[in-house]
Amino acid sequence: MATFCGSRYNNNELVNDKGIVMNQPKMTDVAKKAGVSPTTVSRVINRRGYLSTKTINKVEAAMRELNYRPNMVARQLQSQRTMTIGILVPTVANPFFGELTYKLERDFFNAGFKVLIGNAENDVEKERLYLQQLLARQVDGLVIATHNHQQQIPEYQNANLPIVSIDRYLRASIPNVSSDNYAGGRLATEELIARGAKHIIHTDSVERFNKRDYLRQQAYQDVMNEHGLTPVTYKIDFGSQPELMRQFFNRILDEHPEADGFFASNDMDAIQLLQTARQREIRVPEDLQVIGYDGVPTTTRIVPELSTIVQPLDEMAKVAVDILQREINGERVTGSHNLPVRLRASASLKQ
Amino acid sequence: MATFCGSRYNNNELVNDKGIVMNQPKMTDVAKKAGVSPTTVSRVINRRGYLSTKTINKVEAAMRELNYRPNMVARQLQSQRTMTIGILVPTVANPFFGELTYKLERDFFNAGFKVLIGNAENDVEKERLYLQQLLARQVDGLVIATHNHQQQIPEYQNANLPIVSIDRYLRASIPNVSSDNYAGGRLATEELIARGAKHIIHTDSVERFNKRDYLRQQAYQDVMNEHGLTPVTYKIDFGSQPELMRQFFNRILDEHPEADGFFASNDMDAIQLLQTARQREIRVPEDLQVIGYDGVPTTTRIVPELSTIVQPLDEMAKVAVDILQREINGERVTGSHNLPVRLRASASLKQ
DNA sequence: CTGAAAGCGCTAACAG
DNA sequence: CTGTTAGCGCTTTCAG
């Protein structure tokens, strides 16, 4: 009996130890070897219909002997389902999206789906290319967590495919999963005030096409106003080049020596500020209290002293997966699904 | 003319504004609308053979009108290629693998491939499940960057598919891409010694099935011995729970008050040590110099003061993608491809 | 320059 | 309990 150990692939052919070329076995090969029809083999594989134990054994032996693996592509063409989901993120190299992707993939895997990943890199054209590919019946559904301007991507308007977006509006009929950005902004600001901060600076990355950061900023301003304090927001409108970041935060601290509180719209910015503060020998939290945003486990492990608003990534993934499955099953789902955030208070805040 | 804006999907059907049910258009629909044969439509799509401009225009108009997208699955069945690569990592939530996955996906995308991702989570059974799926002609090739024991995964032995592994031995006929772990271990230790450290501790995560860390450790021990110094290696044989880590590093520093140098086999451990040192008011680098390993950009941005051995992830991804493409094209590739590492010296080392 | 027919590997429908 | 037939949507002969 030929063994496939040490076999080599060569395009679509198998070369066994004796150098005999043989194609990848298909169902008819198994059927022939087991002395049954292809249909029977299919039935054994899918455990459908009534089958005699003898047939099952014969077929399974033949499959094992041939090292047979059903061709998923053929099955997909027949069933009109790929059991595959496409996920579009800016980049999995970013810990936030790495964590999100991990959790999405995990939950989809448990639900029987595979995951195609696309790093759109804040590049509208790349996002369009991915979409065009994925819309070609390659996937049963789509999770969109990128941050490009959807207006420039017409594919979203006539995408005939279940989609769920994360923290982003695409179009009215596409459901969205977010965490409660307004509540997060309020929580951060209120905590700083409750701990005695009066001169609180807020930084925000520019995401023109996303209400997300706007809501965090809006909440910050509302709370400041409610307390008779003056809101000061700085927009980060450059990338995240360390040198520019350093200059930026130094400028803020130069312009606001009175600052005793700081709320950054994401943890990376908050961490950058902590570094700047340390260099300037500003004591945290005594002189300056700091809250970031996101609370990704990896980041928290590296910088445990940073207080932050934690987004419920676990729940967000679960809800997104659930919504997409319902859409795939023909259910109509729309609207925004807002999940609660929580504060992780640590050493960058006073007791 | 029917427009698909606002259309809903419902299994495989399109429902247009007027509520009329219509299937996803296929090639025959386009052919009918354009008054040509399916073959001609195929030719237009693939720009194959001689075509009159008139025909091309007719067909393209029909495709646009119907919002036609070729069914990739059918095309894959026919061409026997999926143009898809499977990537298996422990988890993209880990910045190292997030970065690696990002770069692999980017390079594969540029080469015309899509990427299926699997987070095997150090779970042998999960890795096997992924493999079984991916081997079913779902992908044209596989990148394996997990760390499970390959002995427990027989699928690798008779996998009839192009594979490249990253930093891991799978079997003699499967090419491997690594960075030079031995050189990295040497470099780290030598730099510490050159800067005056005499009592250098080394920590290493337990990866029994991988020579990787063993090589780093081996190099450390060799260099120490060459310099007449006593090597001290601690194995981290628990997960990475912060509380255990804290205790662990405290214990090391308790047991070795004389320590003036520290080489951790990965940056997360090194960062944990930096935290412990700060809590114990041990000055870095004056009292204790520290070098980590990996040098992922994200980590470096968050903890710029950490010196580290930088793995050339960019190059590793490029080489892996190149090797896999060559394998896919029928070329036989084997052996270990070792890429050079470099030191990133920062504040955790003396000038 | 264009079309008809066969087939990629599988499964569903229908027959026995 | 098992087999025959047709077809998923595309591309590739081979004819014209």
B285: cis peptide before it, omega within 30°?
yes
Q: Which residues pair with B9 in a beta bridge?
A: B14
Picking from A91-100, B157-166, B207-216, B305-314, which range would have the lowest pLDDT averaged per residue?
B207-216
Q: For an interface test with A, which of B72, B113, B269 has the most A Cβ atoms less than 10 Å from its Cβ?
A: B72
Cβ of A160 near strand D (distance < 7 A): no
A17-32 mean pLDDT: 69
Q: B42: which nucleotide lies closest, measuring CA to C1'?
A: D11
Predicted local distance difference test score (pLDDT) of residue A104: 98
Predicted local distance difference test score (pLDDT) of residue B11: 39
**A339 half-sphere exposure, CB direction, 13 A CA radius:** 18
Which ranges in chain A are annotated with CATH 1.10.260.40?
2-70
CA-based torsion, B11, B12, B18, B20: positive or negative: negative
- Which parts of chain A are beta strand (E)? 8-10, 13-15, 21-23, 84-89, 114-119, 141-144, 163-166, 176-179, 200-205, 232-236, 261-264, 289-294, 307-310, 336-339, 342-344
Greatest mean pLDDT among A28-37, A41-50, A214-223, B1-10 lies in A214-223
Predicted local distance difference test score (pLDDT) of residue B234: 93
Fold of the domain spanning A79-177+314-339: Rossmann fold (3.40.50)
Which ranges in chain B are annotated with CATH 3.40.50.2300?
79-177+314-339, 181-312+342-350
Express as a percent the part of chain A with pLDDT over 90: 64
The H-or-E segment that residue B293 falls in is: strand B289-294
- Which parts of A192-283 are beta strand (E)? 200-205, 232-236, 261-264
Whether the predicted pLDDT of A98 surpasses 90: yes
pLDDT digit string, tens, across residues B221-242: 999 999 999 999 999 877 778 8
Our measurement of CA A222 to C1' C7, in angstroms, reads 67
Predicted local distance difference test score (pLDDT) of residue A129: 92
Show the tokens assigned to B157.
């032995």
A308-328 mean pLDDT: 97
A204-210 mean pLDDT: 67
Cα B235 from Cα B244, distance rounded (Å): 13
Predicted local distance difference test score (pLDDT) of residue A22: 52
Picking from A62-76, B10-24, B186-200, B266-280, which range would have the lowest pLDDT averaged per residue?
B10-24
Which of chain B's residues 42-101 bind strand D, using a 7 Å CB cutoff? 42-43, 45-46, 48, 70-71, 74-75, 77-79
Whether the predicted pLDDT of B106 surpasses 60: yes
Indicate the CATH number for domain B181-312+342-350: 3.40.50.2300
What residue has token string 């993608």? B321
Whether the predicted pLDDT of B79 surpasses 80: yes
DSSP A31: H
Contact call for residues B242 and A304 (beta carbons, < 8 A):
yes
Tell me how close the Cα of B119 comes to any Cα of chain A, in angstroms. Answer: 7
Cα-flanking dihedrals φ and ψ of residue A31, to 5°? -60, -45
Whether the predicted pLDDT of A186 surpasses 90: yes
What residue has token string 């237009």? B44
Cβ of A132 near strand C (distance < 7 A): no
Predicted local distance difference test score (pLDDT) of residue A19: 38
Longest dimension (CA), chain B: 86
Express as a percent the part of chain A with pLDDT over 70: 91
Per-residue confidence band for A210, with pLDDT thresholds at 50, 70 and 90: low
Per-residue confidence band for A211, with pLDDT thresholds at 50, 70 and 90: low
Whether the predicted pLDDT of B312 surpasses 70: yes
Least CA distance to A99: which residue of chain B?
B93
Identify which of B69, B98, B109 has the shortest CB distance to residue A136. Answer: B69
Cα B141 from Cα A183, distance rounded (Å): 46
Predicted local distance difference test score (pLDDT) of residue A15: 45
Picking from A100, A89, A88, the residue whose alpha carbon sits closest to that of residue A298 is A100
Q: Which CATH architecture has domain A2-70?
A: Orthogonal Bundle (1.10)
Predicted local distance difference test score (pLDDT) of residue B210: 58
Picking from A223, A230, A235, the residue whose alpha carbon sits closest to that of residue A187 is A223
Q: Which residues pair with B343 in a beta bridge?
A: B309
Whether the predicted pLDDT of B334 surpasses 80: yes
Predicted local distance difference test score (pLDDT) of residue B144: 95
Residues 6+ positions from A338 with CB-CB distance below 8 Å:
A178, A179, A180
Whether the predicted pLDDT of A250 surpasses 60: yes
Whether residues A116 and B118 touch (CB distance < 8 A) is answered with no
Picking from B73, B64, B4, B143, the residue whose alpha carbon sits closest to that of residue A139 is B73
Task: Print the SS3 string covering B142-180.
Answer: EEECCCCCHHHCHHHCCCCCCEEEECCCCCCCCCEEEEC
Whether the predicted pLDDT of A238 surpasses 80: no
Whether the predicted pLDDT of A81 surpasses 70: yes
Cα A299 from Cα B188, distance rounded (Å): 25
**Alpha helices (H) in chain B, listed in sequence order:** 27-34, 38-46, 53-66, 72-79, 95-110, 124-135, 181-194, 211-226, 242-255, 267-279, 297-302, 313-328
| Residue count of chain B | 351
B8: chain A residues, CB-CB within 8 Å: 173, 332
Q: Indicate left, alpha or beta for B47 from its phi (over 0: left) and psi (-120 to 50: alpha).
A: left
Higher pLDDT, B4 or B31: B31
A336-341 mean pLDDT: 95
Greatest mean pLDDT among A211-220, B25-34, B156-165, B276-285 lies in B276-285
Cα B158 off chain centre by: 23
A26: chain B residues, CB-CB within 8 Å: none
Cα A208 from Cα A225, distance rounded (Å): 24
**B15 half-sphere exposure, CB direction, 13 A CA radius:** 7
The H-or-E segment that residue B310 falls in is: strand B307-310
Predicted local distance difference test score (pLDDT) of residue B14: 46
Predicted local distance difference test score (pLDDT) of residue B1: 29
Cα A110 from Cα A92, distance rounded (Å): 20
Predicted local distance difference test score (pLDDT) of residue A208: 54
pLDDT digit string, tens, across residues B171-180: 888 999 999 9
Which of chain A's residues 60-79 bind strand C, using a 7 Å CB cutoff? 70-71, 74-75, 77-79
DSSP A150: G
Cα B350 from Cα B192, distance rounded (Å): 9
Q: Which residue is nearest to nucleotide C11 (CA to C1')?
A: A78
Whether the predicted pLDDT of A9 surpasses 80: no
Per-residue confidence band for A258, with pLDDT thresholds at 50, 70 and 90: very high
Question: Mean pLDDT score of chain A, rounded to an integer?
Answer: 88
Tell me how close the Cα of A226 comes to any Cα of chain B, in angstroms. Answer: 34
Predicted local distance difference test score (pLDDT) of residue B211: 58
Cα A81 from Cα A73, distance rounded (Å): 10
Whether the predicted pLDDT of B335 surpasses 80: yes
B271-292 mean pLDDT: 95
